[in-house]
Structures are given as C-alpha cells and as structure tokens.
Amino acid sequence: MGVDLSDIVVKHPKEMGDFAGERIAIDAFNTLYQFLSIIRGPDGTPLKDAEGRVTSHLSGLLYRNTNFLEAGIRPVYVFDGEPPPLKRRTIEERAARKRVAEQEYRDALARGDLETARTKAAQTARLEPHMVDETKEVLEALGIPWVQAPSEGEAQAAAMAARGEATQVGSQDFDSLLFGAGTLVRNLAVSGRRKLPGRNAFVTVVPEVVPLAENLEALGLTRDQLIDVAMLVGTDFNEGVRGYGPKKALKLIKQHHRLEEACAAKGLELPPSHEEIRAFFKDPPSTRVGDLRWGLPDRGRVLEIYVEQHQFSRQRVESALDKVGAVVKARDQRSLDAFF
C-alpha cells in the first residue's frame, strides 16, 4: 500500500490526453492489484473464463492499455523483483489481512450482504505467478515494453525517470516520490466513475500529477526530510509512530529538521532500522534498461490470448484494437516511427 501522504501533497488533476507522447514507467504490480480488486461482479467474484481462471487482470490490461495507446501514451510496465528483507513484516501483515478479509467475505455472502461482500472481496485480491507471466505475454502482444526490476518496481521506475528512460512514474503509491521520482502520475490506470464504499454514491476519479520539486518547495522540506515524515507515518518498511499522520509528522520534522532529533524531543522511539530504510529510499537497487521500443499490437496474438484462450468477446477485443489502429492510420506516416 505504501505511505499515505495524500493529506499534505500538492496534486494537479489532468486528462488522459495531457500525457500524449509521455513515456510513463508504470508500477506493474500496483496496477494489476487494482484490476484484480476493482474488476469484479456485484457479489465480489472476479471475472473468470469458462475454465474458472481469473481474468480480471487481463480485462484491465487490454482496455486500459488500448486507451493509453489511443491517447498517444507510451507505457512501460515495471515488475517487482525480490522484495528487500525490510519488507518482510509488511508482506506477512498483508497476508494476514487477506485471510481475515476472506472469512469476512464468506460471512457477508452467507447473510446476503452483497455490498459488504464486494468490499471485502476486493481486499482478498492475490497476484499469482502465472498472472504475472500472462501479463508479460499480453504486453508483448500489445507492443508494450516491460522491465524486470531487481527489487522494488517503484524504485526502478523512479530511476528510469531520473535517467531519461521514462518521463514520469505511474503508481497509486506516494513511495515513488521517496525514491526520487520527479513526477508521479496517479489514477492513470483506474480513472473513471467509481462507487464510494458503503455509500450509494459515485465519484469521478481523474488522473493527477504530483511533482516532487513543487511539493518539496510547498512543504518546505528536503527529500531526506520527506522520507523522515514518511517513516513517522509508516511505510512498507516500518510501522510508523502511533498517533502520527501526515500533517502531524510534517509539523514535527519541520520543527526539528531530522527524524532522530524529532523523536528525541518528543520522547518517541525511533522506527526500527530507520537508517537502513532511509538509505534504501535514497539509493535502491535498479538496472539500466537501454533503448525501449513500442510496436504495433499483434492483432492475431491478442485475439488468440483473449478470444481463443479465455473466451473474451471477439467483437469487444476487435473494437479495442480498432481504436488503436484508427489513431495510427490518422497520423502522418512520417511521424509513425517517432511515435512507436
């Protein structure tokens, strides 16, 4: 889930077309979990094919990425590698929460409470290894490059943006800013109309840009101090300090300038491994990716995966591919190589 800094950061709403021509390094696991959580039936059941295989992630990948390509966006998906030892506690806690949510989901179904069942079902989403393999196969069929990170995908994406291999980082999590991403793009994969949990109301979710430099200036912080704020709030690598949300943590770091001094002044226990966590955010493992290339979708391969293997509607799949083809044909042939 990452650190929650939504209450203190500056965000700028955007439209999909505003990202035309941008090379956006997208946190693949983050995006896939969104698809697996959101694309479900009224009772919380994920989409499945005739053989009972979950296809929610495949549906999201096809329709969202054809929208990207139609808008002129060049996505590159970055996959998590080996999680750092610092993240072990978070992984164990997430697994425990899923087990609780699974029982609550079954209980809600049993009493006929479909709204609660769907909410709890979204919390049970699991990204299986075969789903990762399927995702990479789909991306290749769509002509979209992907990168395997040595460790955290967001760290790799931020490094790619810093080296000019990408222009922005796409993720829901604010951790990308801690890793040094110059510009974070949120809601890119999940924009649209969304129902509010527990309420008979809907909200329109739009893409938003969170620039690092602008936020550091607005908050009056250095990047090191933003990392310290995050450690007080709680990150994927530490539990945080009880009672400290983003606003209170920001005030404390601005007053005392550094986590160690802030905790000493308030008689707080320092987060375990705080120096190691700070060092990991500042210099995480990453790899150079070289020349990224985008190609035209392989129509036959896409239809084979979606229609032949997973029984998606041929008409809907062809319609999605036609949108991309129409945009390409409308462009001047001389600019085609530059775009792809």
Domains of the chain with bracketed CATH: 1-219 (3.40.50.1010), 220-285 (1.10.150.20)
The answer for residues whose C-beta is within 8 angstroms of residue 59's C-beta and 6 or more apart is 35, 39, 47, 312
The answer for residues whose C-beta is within 8 angstroms of residue 264's C-beta and 6 or more apart is none
Q: Per-residue pLDDT tens for 171-210?
A: 999 999 999 999 999 998 776 666 555 556 667 889 999 9
Distance (Å) of CA 331 to CA 324, 327, 335, 339: 11, 7, 7, 10
Strands of the chain (E only): list them: 12-13, 23-27, 74-79, 146-148, 168-170, 183-186, 192-195, 202-205, 208-211
CA separation for the pair 320, 67 (Å, rounded): 8
Residues in the chain: 340
- The pLDDT of 292-299, averaged and rounded, is 91
Burial label for 17, CB within 10 Å (0-12, 13-18, 19+), is exposed
Tokens 């462009």 label which residue? 331
Q: Per-residue pLDDT tens for 146-164?
A: 999 999 999 999 999 999 9
Decide if 149 contacts 287 (C-beta within 8 A). Answer: yes
What does the mean pLDDT of the chain come to?
90
- pLDDT computed for residue 174 by the predictor: 94
Decide if 41 contacts 99 (C-beta within 8 A). Answer: no
Query: Which tokens sit at 238?
Result: 């530490």
102 falls in which pLDDT band (50, 70, 90)?
Answer: confident
| Whole-number percent of the chain with pLDDT over 70 | 92
Distance (Å) of CA 12 to CA 27, 208, 211, 215: 20, 5, 9, 11
Q: Tell me the pTM.
A: 0.90
Sign for the pseudo-dihedral over CA of 169, 58, 84, 124: positive
- pLDDT computed for residue 336 by the predictor: 47
- pLDDT computed for residue 337 by the predictor: 52
- The pLDDT of 46-65, averaged and rounded, is 94
- The pLDDT of 290-299, averaged and rounded, is 90
Decide if 68 contacts 75 (C-beta within 8 A). Answer: yes
CA separation for the pair 321, 324 (Å, rounded): 5
- The pLDDT of 262-276, averaged and rounded, is 92
- In the beta sheet, which residues pair with residue 204? 193
CA separation for the pair 70, 73 (Å, rounded): 7
Tell me if residue 210 falls in helix, strand or coil.
strand
Burial label for 276, CB within 10 Å (0-12, 13-18, 19+), is middle
